[in-house]
Structure 1
Amino acid sequence: MDHSPTDLSNVRRPIAQAHGLPNAHYTDAAVFEEEKHALLFDTWSGLAVAADVPDIGDAVPLSFLGMPLLLVRDRQGTLRVFQNICRHRGMILVSEPRKIEGAIRCPYHSWCYSTDGKLVSTPHVGGPGQNKHDGIDRALLGLIEVRSHIWMGVVWINVSGTAPAFEDANAELLKRWSEFDKPIFHGGADSCFQLEVNCNWKLAVENYCESYHLPWVHPGLNSYSRLEDHYHIEEKGLFAGQGTHVYRQLKGENGDVFPDFEGLSDTWDTAAEYITAFPNVLLGVHRDHTFAIILEPQGPEKTREHVHLFYTTPDTDDALRQKNAQQWKEVFVEDVFVVEGMQRGRHAVSFDGGRFSPAMDGPTHLFHDWVAGRLNARRQMDQAAE
C-alpha cells in the first residue's frame, strides 16, 4: 500500500462541499500509527476511571495503544500513571491488578520502586551483597510518569507531555458543564461494562456526535426524545455532540428516582447533553447521573468501549442502578451494527469519504475537521524537523 500522506483537503471544506475522511483512515495500519501520535498521544486521551484504583496501594496494569501503563494509588492517595516497565532492562513490573503492600518489585532482578515512582532498592547491583554502584544513580531512575488528570471520573493522560494543561485544553467544556463540577460516584461493578466492536474508534465518535440516526437506530429512545427535540453542540477544534430538551428520569417500581445533583439550574430539569471530548471520551450528563465511554483503539478495525455510570451519591438503589445500566447498554448495543456496517463500507475502494447533511451532520463534520487539522499540523511539524 502507498504510505504517502492521505489527501485531507476535501475534509476541511465547508460542510456543504466537504467529504469525510478517506478510507485509509479506517483500514490502514500506517495511517492508524500516524493518528496514534497526532490524535491520541499528543492530546488528552481517556485511559481509565479513577474508580479502578479506589484505595491506597491499588495497582492496575493497562495497555494504551500498545504502551504498557500502570495505574497506581500512591501512599498519599494520589492517582498516578506510570509506564509499567523497570528502568533496568524494561521488564513489565505488574502483570495483573493487585494491592501493592510494600514496594513495586520487578520480578526480573528485584529492583524496587515506591508507589510514587522512586527507585528505592537495587539488590546486588554492584556485585553480590553490594546494593549500590556509582554508575547507577537511583534518583535518576524512577518510574517514567505519564501526565494525568481526573475529570468526570475519568483518568485522562497526555503521553507526549506536549499538550496544554488539561484545564486549558478543555476550558470551554469545563465552563459549559461547570454545574457538574461536583463529586460523582461510580456505581460499582453493576455500572460498568465493555463492548467489543469491529470498527475503527473514530466511527464510534462520529455516530455518538449526531442525533440524525435516532428515528431508525433507536426507536425506543426516539419515542419520547424525538429528533426534533435535539440540538447540536459544536465547538470547533475541541468537542462536538448533541443535546435533548426532553430527558426523562428513570423511575423504579415505586416511582423512586436517583437523587439530583445539587444546585443545578432549571435547564437540567428536562435537558441532557452528550458530547465527545476529543479524541476518545464520550460523555453524557443528566440531572441525576453521568456516564463516560472510553474508546480504546485496538487497531484500525477494532475498538473496545469501556462504559461507566456515575451518580450523585455513593449509595444509590441497587435495582434502579442495574435497570439504568441495562437501559443504556441496550441503547449502545443498538449502535453496534451501524458502526460495524460503516467499517465494512470503508473497504469499498471507490467510496470517497461520503458527504454530510449540512443541516444534520454538523457535529460529525466538526470532528472530521479536527482530525484533519491535527494531522496536517503534525505533518508540517514532522517536515520542519527533517
Structure 2
Amino acid sequence: MSEALRAVCQPITSARGLPNAHYTDAALFARESDVLLARNWAGLAVAADVPEKGDAVPLSFCGQPLLLIRDKTGKVRVFQNVCRHRGMILVDAPRKIEGAIRCPYHSWCYGTDGRLVTTPHVGGPGQNTHDAIDRNLLGLIEVPSHIWMGVVFVNLSEDAAPFAEVHRDLLARWQEFDQPLVPGGPESQFTLEVDCNWKLAVENYCESYHLPWVHPGLNAISRLEDHYNIEQPGAFSGQGTEVYQQFRADDGTAAFPDFESLTPKWDTAAEYIAVYPNVLLGVHRDHVFSIVLTPESCSRTTERVHLSYASAETDPTLRGANAVQWKAVFEEDIFVVEGMQRGRMASGFDGGAFSPAMDGPTHCFHAWAAAALQEAPRHAAE
C-alpha cells in the first residue's frame, strides 16, 4: 500500500489516484478517520446550530460523542459528551440548558463552561462531597475548537498546530471576508445524505472540470473557461469564477447587500475552496456558504449546508429562494459521487489518472491525504 500511496504523491503528470480500498475498506476508513480527520482541524458543525446561550446539540464525529454548546457568556464550546463519573452520555437530544448539564445516571451536574458544580450523595447519603473527589479535576473534557466563516472546527487529537497557523494562507486570501456573518436562518440550511465516501465529495467540489456536463445551467452563466484553479498543497484547493452573477429578485434588483469594503475583484469573482479535510466553502460578494461533511461510513456521508449573509436586512423569502437554487446545484452532483463510489468496486480501477490542466485541485487533495497517511505513526492498537 505504501507504494500505491507514493504513486499518488508523484507529479500530476504521472500520479495515480488513491486506491479503491480507501473508499471501500472499513479498516482504512477507521485509519483515515484518525489520521485525516481527528489529527487535523476538521469541521464539526456551524456556530448557528447553537444560536442562543444555553443551546446544546449532541453530535457524533469520528465515533466520539461530542456536545456543541453556547455557554452562559455566549462562547461556543465543544465538550466530550460524557459524565466524568461513569462515562454516561449527558445530552441525548438538542435542548436548552436552563441551569446545569445534569447527568441522568447519578445527577452529577456541570456548568455550561464545563465545571463540575455538584456531586449529590458522593460521600454517602446526604454528603455531597468527598475528599477523594476533586471537582476541579473532574470538569468536562473540552475539545479544542475554532470558529471561522461560521464553521466550528475541532481538533480531536488536541495536538494540531493552531488553526490560524495551519490556515494562514487561506485566511490571508479571504481576509476581506473576515467580518461578521449573519446566519440565514432555517430557510438557509439543508442536509443531503449521499451514498459515497466523504473524500469523493471533496474531490468533486474542488474542481470545475465537470461543469459543462453535470451543471449545464450553471455552466451557461459561468462557463468552464471562466474558471481558474486554486491549489495550496497540504492545506486547501478549489476553483474560482471570474463571472459571478448575483442572485436577484424577480424585479431585477439585487436580493442581498454586499459585504463591506470588498476590493473590485469581488464584483464579479467568487471562489469555492475545500478546506482539508472536510469543509467546503464558497464566498461571494453578498453571501457565503459552508458544507460540513460528516463521514458516516466508507460509503455514506452527510452534507450539512448553511448559508450566511452580509446583513440581517435580507428578505427571508429571497434567502429561501437562494438556498433552493444552491440545493439544486448540489443535488446535481449526487449521481456523480455515488457513481464514483460504485466504480470503486471495479477491481481493475487503479486510482485513475489526472488531467494536468484540469485536475490540479483534486490531485492536490489526494496528495495531501496520501502524504498524511504515509507519515502518521500508527497507534499500538493498530
Interval containing the TM-score (normalised by the shorter chain): over 0.9
**1:186 CA drift (Å):** 0.8
| 3-state SS of 1:199 partner | coil
What does residue 71 of structure 2 align with?
74
Cα separation, 1, equivalents of 2:158 and 2:81: 17
Deviations 1:282-329 (A, max 9, x none): 000000000000000001000000000000012311221111101100
**Contact 2:38-2:62 at 8 Å conserved across structures:** no
The residue number in structure 2 matching 1:139 is 136
Establish whether residue 234 from structure 1 lines up as the match of residue 240 from structure 2: no
Shift in Å at residue 244 of structure 1? 0.3
Are 2:31 and 1:21 aligned? no
Q: Does 1:93 align with 2:63?
A: no
- 1:256: how far off? 2.4
Match for residue 343 of structure 2?
345
Q: Deviations over 1:181-238 (max 9, x none)?
A: 0001110000000000000000000000100000000000000100000000000111
Distance 1:256 1:101 in 2: 44
Q: 1:54: Cα distance to partner?
A: 1.1
Query: Partner of 2:279 in structure 1?
Result: 281
| Match in the other structure for 2:251 | 254
Identity %: 67
Give 2:34's match in structure 1, choosing from 37, 40, 64: 37
- TM-score, reference length from structure 1: 0.97
Matched residues in 2 for 1:315 and 1:108: separation?
46
| Counterpart contact for 1:6–1:22, Cα < 8 Å | no
Contact 2:34 2:62 in 1 (8 A): no
Aligned to 2:57: 60
Displacement after TM superposition at 1:108 (Å): 0.3
Paired residue total: 381
Q: Which amino acid aligns with 2:242?
A: H
1:334-362 CA distances to partner (integer Å, 9 max, x unpaired)?
A: 00000000000000011100000011000
Q: CA deviation at 1:151?
A: 0.5
**Contact 1:112 / 1:120 at 8 angstroms: preserved in 2?**
yes
Question: Partner of 1:298: helix, strand, or coil?
Answer: strand
**For residue 116 of structure 2, what is the aligned residue in structure 1?**
119
Mapped partners of 1:219, 1:191: distance in 2: 24
Q: Which runs of 5+ in 1 are unaligned?
A: none
- Measure the CA separation in 1 of the matches of 2:3 and 2:64: 26
In the aligned structure 2, how far is the partner of 1:336 from the partner of 1:385? 36
State the alpha-carbon separation in 2 of the partners of residues 272 and 164 from structure 1: 29
For 1:117 and 1:295, the matched residues in 2 are separated by 27
Please tell me whether residue 321 in structure 1 is matched to residue 319 in structure 2: yes
Distance in 2 of aligned mates of 1:12 and 1:71: 36
Structure 2: give runs of 5+ residues left out of the alignment: none
Report the secondary structure of 2:282's partner residue: strand
User: 2:102 is matched with which residue: 96, 102, 105?
Assistant: 105
1:332 to 322, 330, 345: 330
Displaced runs of 4+ in structure 1, greater than 2 A?
4-7, 381-386
1:196 aligns with 2:193: yes
**CA shift for structure 1 position 55:** 1.0
Which of 343, 356, 372 is the aligned partner of 1:374?
Answer: 372
1:283 and 1:292 in contact (8 A); partners too = yes
Match of 2:148 among 140, 146, 151: 151
Determine helix, strand or coil for the equivalent of 1:155.
strand
Within a 5 Å distance, the mapping from 1:177-216 to structure 2 comes to: 177-216=174-213
Q: CA deviation at 1:6?
A: 7.5
- Residue deviations 1:248-301 (CA, integer Å, cap 9, x gap): 111101222210001000000000000000000000000000000000000100
TM-score, normalising length: structure 2: 0.98
Report the residue type matching 1:268 in the other structure: W
- Give the match's secondary structure for 1:182: coil
Q: Distance in 2 between matches of 1:385 and 1:176?
A: 40
Q: Which amino acid aligns with 1:270?
A: T
Taking the aligned partners of 2:291 and 2:194, their CA distance within structure 1 comes to 13
Secondary structure of the equivalent of 1:19?
Answer: coil
Distance 2:298 2:289 in 1: 25
Aligned to 2:263: 265
Cα distance in 2 between the residues matched to 1:185 and 1:98: 22
Residues 69-103 of structure 1 show CA distances to partners (whole Å, capped at 9, x for unaligned) of 11111111111100000001110001111111111
Instruction: Find the partner of 2:8 among 8, 11, 16.
Output: 11
